[in-house]
């Protein structure tokens, strides 16, 4: 087990500097353009693939970093560049985590490479969990998967929403209910291979922020996938369902569902994304306060501005420490006894909203215009308190964890 540390080693620092250079030289110059277009920045993703950032190898190296700091360090640097473009680059990772968290070794080796494609032919993947009537309330999921034993196929019907890369993905990972009577405990995850009949893109959403990231509905109408596409396999599913039914009969409620397993693994990474956006806005505001003069002196000489910047930096550093702690705990098998993963996501996302708003205030009228990037950063930051569990859901998870109440 790696000891927790707040100091990156030489190799991690080298990777961090490499990512920072890519974010500064490639992502940032393209940020405003793709925000206005509201389209997937395929050229930037391809450039990331060519240098090795958008790849299974790079993701695996960071994911399996024994210190746990590989993923949060990478997320912070990329999202420092721009949240929308960075989410287009890392969005496939949520689907990959879904397979890593629930799949067999054969499924991991088969499907994750197809999620990324090749540098000259990049692909993306989508994780599909939320539904029009089931966002935070995963127990209300209506998408159904029914097993056709004669053909060893699963038949999936339903509509997913808020899916990053939904409809344009090469591989979709879909969470569906296989036993509605068990609520969220009756869910399972399925791979929907490329070109599977019955899967179509629904509405593409025009968003307040992260506009360079494709978000859409995914419609599943009689989608048939082979039995081998059930993540973890049917034997494991049957055993899990049997345990859930027994616990339900005895009044227990402790079995985790497939979507929750994915979100628990990814929440600290979302916190790191928020830290990156907050840090970017803080740096713009700090530089502006040093150079902008009013009444014959830089505005940072005014205590009101200086104290805001002091608070911004303090909150960013505190958020990073919570993210790093949760990431280290996850990689080293430490249980989240106080919902440390949700803590990190909650504090970092709220920090990003607050810091980006303060950055606009420090820039004044300039901060409200698109001539400066902080208005875009503020729009982007709004998503962190919403996706992969709202701030209210994070507080609910924390409260129920520390009180010993079951998380449904």
146 Cβ neighbours under 8 A, 6+ residues apart: 154, 155, 178
Q: 190: which strand partners?
A: 174, 230
- Sort residue 162 into left (φ over 0), alpha (ψ -120 to 50) or beta: left
Q: Which single residue is written with the structure tokens 């150079």?
A: 291
Q: Quick check: 176 and 212 in contact, CB under 8 A?
A: no
The kind and range of the H/E element at 18 are helix 10-22
| Nearest alpha carbon to residue 377 among 300, 276, 291, 288 | 276
| Nearest alpha carbon to residue 107 among 156, 173, 178, 165 | 173
| Nearest alpha carbon to residue 166 among 209, 129, 116 | 129
Q: Which long-range contacts (CB under 8 A, 24 or more apart) does 182-185 make?
A: 182/241, 182/244, 182/245, 182/248, 183/139, 183/408, 184/138, 184/139, 184/141, 184/257, 184/259, 184/260, 184/408, 185/241, 185/244, 185/248, 185/253, 185/255, 185/257
- The burial of 222, by beta-carbon neighbours within 10 Å (0-12 exposed, 13-18 middle, 19 or more buried), is given as exposed
Question: Quick one: tokens of 330?
Answer: 């996850």
Distance CA 196, CA 48 (A): 28
With H, G, I as helix, E, B as strand and everything else as coil, classify residue 229.
helix
Distance CA 24, CA 4 (A): 29
Helices (H) and strands (E) in the chain, counts: 14, 11
Question: Quick one: tokens of 195?
Answer: 């070109």
Q: Quick check: 126 and 40 in contact, CB under 8 A?
A: no
The catalytic residue positions are 388
Q: Which long-range contacts (CB under 8 A, 24 or more apart) does 304-307 make?
A: 305/362
């Amino acid at each position: 087990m790696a000891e927790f540390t707040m100091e990156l080693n030489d190799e991690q620092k080298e990777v961090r500097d490499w990512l920072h250079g890519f974010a500064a030289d490639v992502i940032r110059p393209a940020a405003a353009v793709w925000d206005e277009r509201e389209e997937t920045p395929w050229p930037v993703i391809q450039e990331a693939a060519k240098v090795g950032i958008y790849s299974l190898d790079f993701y695996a190296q960071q994911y399996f970093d024994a210190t746990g700091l590989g993923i949060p360090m990478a997320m912070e640097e990329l999202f420092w560049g721009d949240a929308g473009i960075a989410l287009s680059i890392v969005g496939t990772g949520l689907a990959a985590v879904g397979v890593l968290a629930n799949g067999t070794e054969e499924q991991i080796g088969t499907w994750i490479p197809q999620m990324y494609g090749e540098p000259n032919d990049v692909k993306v993947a989508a994780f599909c969990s939320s539904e029009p009537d089931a966002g935070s309330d995963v127990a209300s999921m209506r998408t159904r998967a029914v097993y056709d034993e004669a053909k060893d196929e699963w038949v999936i019907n339903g509509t997913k929403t808020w899916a990053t890369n939904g409809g344009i993905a090469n591989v979709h990972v879909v969470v569906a209910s296989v036993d509605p009577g068990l609520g969220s405990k009756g869910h399972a995850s399925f791979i929907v291979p490329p070109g599977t009949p019955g899967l179509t893109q629904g509405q593409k959403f025009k968003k307040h922020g992260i506009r360079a990231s494709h978000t859409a509905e995914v419609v599943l109408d009689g989608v048939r996938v082979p039995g081998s596409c059930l993540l973890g396999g049917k034997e494991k599913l049957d055993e899990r369902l049997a345990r859930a039914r027994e616990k339900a009969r005895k009044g227990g409620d402790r079995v985790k569902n497939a979507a929750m397993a994915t979100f628990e693994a990814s929440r600290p990474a979302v916190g790191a994304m928020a830290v990156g956006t907050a840090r970017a806005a803080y740096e713009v505001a700090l530089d502006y306060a040093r150079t902008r003069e009013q009444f014959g002196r830089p505005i940072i000489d005014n205590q009101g501005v200086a104290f805001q910047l002091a608070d911004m930096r303090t909150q960013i550093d505190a958020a990073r420490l919570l993210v790093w702690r949760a990431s280290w705990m996850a990689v080293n098998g430490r249980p989240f006894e106080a919902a440390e993963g949700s803590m990190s996501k909650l504090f970092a996302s709220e920090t990003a909203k607050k810091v980006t708003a303060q950055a606009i205030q420090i820039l004044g009228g300039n901060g409200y215009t698109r001539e400066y990037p902080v208005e875009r950063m503020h729009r982007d930051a709004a998503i962190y308190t919403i996706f992969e569990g709202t701030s209210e859901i994070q507080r609910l998870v924390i409260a129920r964890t520390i009180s010993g109440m079951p998380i449904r």
